[in-house]
Amino acid sequence: MPDRASPALCPSARCEPGALLVGVVNPDGAVGYVRPAPEVDEAFVERARARGRPETAFRFAQPCAESGCGYWDGGCRVASMAVEAFADADPDHLPRCGIRPACRWFRQEGAAACRACALVVTDVV
């Protein structure tokens, strides 16, 4: 059962100090998860930005901005869109995610969001 007492984390956040590194985008485009999800520091951000747009190579999590986000309509539209777009994701496989209990997408869409999450890249160039 998700821990509803903790703040919800957006698993599609920007690379900024304090964000959590959720995963690495593999050459095949799928996300390989990092467990536990370490906190990103300024040095990591600088190195990652020196190589381009970090969000194309990594996935980050930060507290969900809810109504402060353009994708919020009382719920996370990105989560809903991911579940719809990747409805054919392997139903027997849930990735080993380091933020699942606090994840906004999981809290909203359940296991279907977890299956879709591994196929989402935050910032496609």
Digitized pLDDT (tens) for each residue of the chain, 125 residues in all:
344 567 899 999 999 999 999 999 999 988 999 999 999 999 999 999 999 999 999 999 999 999 999 999 999 999 999 999 988 877 777 888 999 999 999 999 999 999 899 888 876 54
**Whole-number pLDDT of residue 2:** 43
**Whole-number pLDDT of residue 1:** 37
Strand partners, 103: 9
**Whole-number pLDDT of residue 5:** 64
**Whole-number pLDDT of residue 94:** 85
Q: Do 113 and 79 touch, CB atoms closer than 8 A?
A: yes
Side-by-side strand order, sheet with 31-33: 9-13, 58-63, 20-25, 31-33
**Whole-number pLDDT of residue 92:** 77
**Whole-number pLDDT of residue 120:** 86
- pTM above 0.75? yes
Q: Give the pairing type, strands 31-33 and 20-25.
A: antiparallel
Which burial class, exposed, middle or buried, applies to 94 when counting CB atoms under 10 A from its CB (0-12, 13-18, 19+)?
middle
